[in-house]
Structure 1
Amino acid sequence: MIHSTRRPSVGDMPVRRLGLGDLRDCLMLAIDRQWLPEEAKWRLLFEVGEVYGIDDPGGGLAGTAVLARYGRDLGAVSMVLVASRYGRMGLGRRLMLHVLDRAGDATVFLSATEYGRGLYQKLGFRAVGRIVTHIGHFRPEPEDFKHDGLRPAREADLTAIRGLDTHASGAPRAGLITRLSSIAERTWVAERGGKVVGFGAAWRNVDNVVVGPVIADSTAMARGLIAELASELHAPVRLDLGADLADHADLADHADHTDLAGWAAARGVRPAFTTTLMTRGGPLPGARARIYTPVMLALG
């Protein structure tokens, strides 16, 4: 019997909802695209998002995409990956159309590499700013620890922390913040007059510790939180810092966000790569000036 070696057409390969049993194949797909196998990140995405994929008839996954919903009006798209052997066959577009259909009328945002930006533009996304990822061993200065009112978070702070995140992101993300609190290596809050007014978390990824989110009402507070979170970690620190975000009215008067990048670089956490923040369906809601770093690029 002669077996056909013809690769199936894209239209013959259905999109399905993935589960934790597919985690290994997601990690292998990431490696195929020269991404790190970020197991902790993928596990969080499976818990708080909807992970979709296309099976490769030869084994493993041909592609993935993730949608995280924050209520009815906001969603984050991430991990749009297509195996190198299926490159430029339309799988990325097909996965994107699937998750956008699932998102409905919600405003959707993502962080785009140069490789994917053209596709997202064709699907109606527009660039609203840049995110510069800084990575390095954090070397604090004594003045970084002089901000008043900072302390480690307690379990009783969780309600206030979730409220701050909802206000800043403009969407209900209680499930994400609650789950993050259980995996974070450190969580600190800023307190003023007995009230929690800012917070930050740090969680360990494959080869670094992500400091995010950091939500504060001033750059000075953000610096203090980052210093407390990043000191004595004995591992490279990652900070995803926004730039050129004045397209958002809420951010137009907050040029001091860029000052944070210079402060981080002076302490050994230097620019590593840049992605483009893109939205579809409307502007991002919330008090965005308060978000100094996201939970991660994949979730905002």
Structure 2
Amino acid sequence: MRLQSFDLQLSDIAEIDLEKLHALSLMVGWPHRRKDWQMLRENGYGIVAQDEIGRVFGSAMWFPFADDFVTVGMVITSPRLQAHGHGRWLMDHVLKQTGSRPLRLNSTRAAHRLYLSMGFTAEKTVYQRQGTAVRAGEPEIPHGAVLREITMGDLTELVALDYLAYGADRAALFARLLQVSKGVALIRDNRIAAFCLCRSFGRGTVIGPVVASDDADAIVVIHPHVAAHEGDFLRLDTRQRTGTFPEFLTRSGLPVFDTVTSMSLGGTWFADDQAAKPGHPLTYALVSQALS
């Protein structure tokens, strides 16, 4: 692509120095560290736009969790190039790579119009909640249930529960998450009924994913992480707008900081929202906005 007085070319994101990717996200105010970029590269594919001397001006990534499902993330364009069709150029390449598979992404306000013009449908709001963690009381563990730490031996059961809530097999992602996360599981009838993972990310620590069948179970598995990080920066991304769960997050020092919009192409993802089915597991916190 020819832009102003220089040319841009697309390169495989796996070949790009992490320092350059980190500088790109800093340019638009995103908190991703070099380690965060590396984890994303280990779980997906992507491209960057470079000029002739190797400067990086944009990026886009995609994460194929199944033959019929892909998430898109880390679509970044430098402020200098946002008005020149650079984002559309990157996304057109993503569409070529992903083919006819349904896509899902979380759009910032700045990119919302672009995705609408490409045929994406806005479906849900994601609430980015963050702040200094506060230990807000001790939730009661449900009768007959116990809490315990998650181990690598829980991988199969976690993936199965996540599949019911999320709708795609993310076994490879969870195998990587368990290497870098601490987790809490709620055990009921000798099975994992709810779980929460927590890991270092960006400015501090991020909670996610969280899977539970109701607000009470979600609160119980999240609370130990809030308590462990009391006084520290904590973040959680959720689609839960009202109820006891978001109320708990507010009391825990995690007010809404920003929002993004979950959008889909090739089929509505939330048309059969499992939240309306009592007892069915639900995703209470995302892995991240890029990975959903």
C-alpha distance in 1 between matches for 2:25 and 2:274: 30
1:188 equivalenced with 2:184 (yes/no): yes
Per-residue displacement from partner, 1:160-212 (whole Å, max 9, x unpaired)? Answer: 0111112221111101011000011x111111111112211001113121100
1:156 equivalenced with 2:153 (yes/no): yes
Gaps of 5+ in 1: 245-256
Conservation of the 8 A alpha-carbon contact between 1:53 and 1:61: yes
Match of 1:206 among 187, 197, 202: 202
TM-score norm. by structure 2 comes to: 0.89
Q: Which residue of 2 aligns with 1:131?
A: 126
Conservation of the 8 A alpha-carbon contact between 2:196 and 2:222: yes
Conservation of the 8 A alpha-carbon contact between 2:122 and 2:261: yes
Match of 2:239 among 237, 242, 264: 242
Q: Percent identity?
A: 26
1:33 equivalenced with 2:31 (yes/no): no
Conservation of the 8 A alpha-carbon contact between 1:45 and 1:51: no
Residues matched between the structures, number: 280
Structure-to-structure mapping, 1:83-232, within 5 angstroms: 83-147=78-142, 148-184=145-181, 186-232=182-228
Per-residue displacement from partner, 1:130-165 (whole Å, max 9, x unpaired)? Answer: 111111222233332534322111232111011111
Q: Which moved more, 1:234-243 or 1:73-82?
A: 234-243
Q: Offset at 1:282? A: 0.5
Q: Which residue of 1 aligns with 2:247?
A: 262
Q: Which residue of 2 aligns with 1:77?
A: 72
Conservation of the 8 A alpha-carbon contact between 2:185 and 2:192: yes
Match of 2:257 among 254, 272, 276: 272
C-alpha distance in 2 between matches for 1:55 and 1:288: 42
| Greater strand share, structure number | 2
C-alpha distance in 1 between matches for 2:110 and 2:201: 24
C-alpha distance in 2 between matches for 1:156 and 1:243: 30
Q: Label 1:125 to 1:258 Cα distance change in 2 as closer, same or farther (>3 A).
A: farther
TM-score norm. by structure 1 comes to: 0.87
Aligned residue identity for 1:275? V
Q: Label 1:20 to 1:149 Cα distance change in 2 as closer, same or farther (>3 A).
A: farther
Q: Which residue of 1 aligns with 2:287?
A: 295
Tell me the secondary structure at the aligned position of residue 287 of structure 2: coil
Conservation of the 8 A alpha-carbon contact between 2:59 and 2:74: yes
Aligned residue identity for 1:229? H
Conservation of the 8 A alpha-carbon contact between 2:32 and 2:201: no
Aligned residue identity for 2:189? G
C-alpha distance in 2 between matches for 1:288 and 1:105: 25
C-alpha distance in 1 between matches for 2:273 and 2:244: 19
Q: Label 1:16 to 1:288 Cα distance change in 2 as closer, same or farther (>3 A).
A: farther
Q: Which moved more, 1:13-22 or 1:38-47?
A: 13-22
Q: Which moved more, 1:191-200 or 1:283-292?
A: 283-292
